[in-house]
Amino acid sequence: MSGPTLEQIAKGDGLALCAAGSWTARFAPALEKLVGEAEKLTGSRPNIFIDVSQVSKLDTFGAWLIERLRRALTNGGHEAQIAGLSANYATLVDEVRRVKPAVAPPAAGSHLTAVLDGIGRNIYGIGETLVALVDMIGAVIAAWFRVWRHPSKFRLTSVVHHLQQVCWNAVPIVVLITFLIGCIVAQQGLFHFRRFGADVFVVDMLGVLVLRELGVLLVAIMVAGRSGSAYTAELGSMKMREEIDALRTMGFDAIEVLILPRMVALVLALPILAFLGAMAALYGGGLVAWLYGGVDPSSFLSRLREAISINHFIVGMVKAPVMAMVIGIVACVEGLAVQGSAESLGQHTTSSVVKGIFFVIVMDGVFAIFFATIGI
Amino acid sequence: MTSTTATPASATATAAASTSADAIISVRDLTVAFGSRRVLDGLNLNVARGEILGFVGASGAGKSVLMRTIIGLVPKVSGTIEVFGTDLDGGDKARRDVERRWGILFQHGALFSSLSVRQNIQFPVREYLKVSERLLDEITMAKLTMVGLKPEVADRYPSELSGGMIKRVALARALALDPEIVFLDEPTSGLDPIGAGDFDELVRTLQRTLGLTVFMVTHDLDSLHTACDRIAVLGNGKIIAQGTMADMLASQHPWLREYFHGKRARAVIG
């Protein structure tokens, strides 16, 4: 296949532009250059023939560039004509003749307006997020009461299925991570307390920290990353494929069918996981205290009994279902906000996890203030 | 079907397609299996340059599987596939050269949902050709005009398009690099009869103007009737019949009789 050429031949008061070779997409960069140079042609000759009889192969790219050349020359005050078209290429050139000048993509505003625009939208977006969250809380509570009055509407199978996903399948990783965190906290505690000869106080620290704060917070963050993201992706892809619209048209309430079972499963799962996590962390801490700090198990247990009261455990456990609700609500709101594109699904899944973790930590702070005020 | 004798140059496209001499796509003894289930079993098919081949068969007979095997999305068990005379098993480089010369319209469009229509069409062009933004935009407009869409559509996103528009944009993207072959997987499914008729007309026009070879998997009797030069029928993992519409109508094969003489067919063909 030979490359394209465009030769200029003077003919009396006219000029012939002889195109030859292969005018196809393959040679598009070269073609563009040829045509660009020919477009600048401003001779005194009024008549210009674009002779394409020597063109061996023509496709849309070539046909368009010939047409573009003709338009440019005509606009430049020349009498431009395309000559030597074979029958099947003539239809192609006719086809591209219908093309109107390109519409440029919408221009972006100036940099400053773009920044201000972004800030404005984000602030507006925060308000919208809060409204959506409150809306979802209301819808879930309403659905809960509807189901309460008609227990036959409760989707037990669905709850059990989600419980397996978010609770049972999460046990190994949750237990492993909390066990390791327990080990690390105990090791660090021992390292610093040893300087004061207060080795045994590591048990106090571990017990209070794990039962009150660390156990539940850590597990909640893991659940937000593991199950919150899954909820958002599931609901989001259902939204994208119009499955949620299909449910609505069949007279089902998406909140009742999809969201309530997920919320119930999460609210049941998080306390269980938090409990298992706390136990694993204490076990890990105890192991390190024994092997690394020389605190044997029986003295670890008796010290633990003195150091913590049932209140510490209750404070930790009370937080778990509330955090589960926060994670679930955020995940479902984000899932239902997914638009048509794959990118949107990714964005909302990310923001589900980020917002979920953020609200979990905010809730933890609120609880800390509350319990401090009532003196537990 | 695969006689090895050379065809005289004067033979018609239909006759030429029955030998591999002038075939742009040539499939020989192709077997594809999923587990122990053989979907295609020793299939032979030739597609001639410049023809529109309609490919029919019962649902689940493996029409899409054949198309996906030719374009390399489904692995084959045995057999050879040649496109432009290049064996597609002949290494990555040969394969990429071939891939640049075909365009594919997937059944549901498969537009990139996070790119606008303009970006969707420009995507393959940007990848393969170093041309200016101006030419890119102009070519986008040319393709949109060719598939019968208004220039305003260019900055919409796939989720904002109707089903028919998605098919048209997907066709524009398939044509972006001016391929020599286009594969169409059920191009008219989900379109209203007028839209489907327009689409058939469009495929015909493009085939005439661009000299395309079209491989069309379809169930649409109208498309077969108006757009296709030749029809191939898939059954039991093999081509059970191929030829023009008239050949199909004359066939005595029970499935063909039911397909082409059924109630719906009579309404179309009369």
Q: pLDDT for A204-220, tens place per residue?
A: 999 999 999 888 999 99
Q: Is the dihedral of CA A29, A31, A34, A37 positive or negative?
A: negative
CATH superfamily, domain A5-97, is STAS domain (3.30.750.24)
- Give A88's contacts in chain B (Cβ within 8 Å): 208-209, 211
Interchain pair B137, A96: CB under 8 A: no
Tell me the shortest Cα–Cα distance from B187 to chain A, in angstroms: 20
Between CA B102 and CA B88 the distance in angstroms is 13
Average pLDDT over residues B58-78: 83
pLDDT score recorded for residue B6: 39
- Give A337's contacts in chain B (Cβ within 8 Å): none
pLDDT score recorded for residue A42: 57
How many angstroms separate the first and last alpha carbons of chain A?
Answer: 86
B70 vs A: CB within 8 A: no
pLDDT score recorded for residue B1: 39
Between CA B16 and CA A186 the distance in angstroms is 82
For tokens 């050379």, what's the residue? B6
- The answer, yes or no, to whether residue B270 has pLDDT greater than 80, is no
For tokens 């909640």, what's the residue? A220
Average pLDDT over residues A166-189: 94
Tell me the shortest Cα–Cα distance from A40 to chain B, in angstroms: 16
Average pLDDT over residues B46-55: 86
Q: Which range, of A79-83, A144-148, A152-156, B102-106, averages the lowest pLDDT?
A: A79-83
Beta pairing class for B181-185 and B102-105: parallel
Average pLDDT over residues A179-189: 94
Q: Is A20 helix (H, G, I), strand (E, B) or coil?
A: strand
pLDDT score recorded for residue A105: 66
Determine whether domain B50-73+92-269 maps to CATH 3.40.50.300: yes
Which among A102, A105, A106 is the nearest to B138, CB-wise? A102
B190 vs A: CB within 8 A: no
Which among B138, B141, B146 is the nearest to A95, CB-wise? B146
Average pLDDT over residues B166-177: 87
pTM of the model: 0.70
Q: Per-domain residue ranges for chain B?
A: 50-73+92-269
- Give B135's contacts in chain A (Cβ within 8 Å): 28, 32, 65
pLDDT score recorded for residue B3: 40
Domain with CATH 3.30.750.24 in chain A: 5-97
- The answer, yes or no, to whether residue B269 has pLDDT greater than 70, is no
- The answer, yes or no, to whether residue B7 has pLDDT greater than 60, is no
For tokens 């690390």, what's the residue? A184
pLDDT score recorded for residue A331: 95
For A6-63, the pLDDT digits (tens) are 777 777 677 777 777 788 887 888 888 887 777 776 566 677 777 777 777 788 888 8
Q: Is the ipTM of this complex over 0.85?
A: no
Which residues have C-beta within 8 Å of that of residue A294, sequence separation ≥ 6?
A199
How many angstroms separate the first and last alpha carbons of chain B?
Answer: 30
- The answer, yes or no, to whether residue A166 has pLDDT greater than 70, is yes
pLDDT score recorded for residue A32: 81
Structure tokens belonging to residue A340: 């048509």
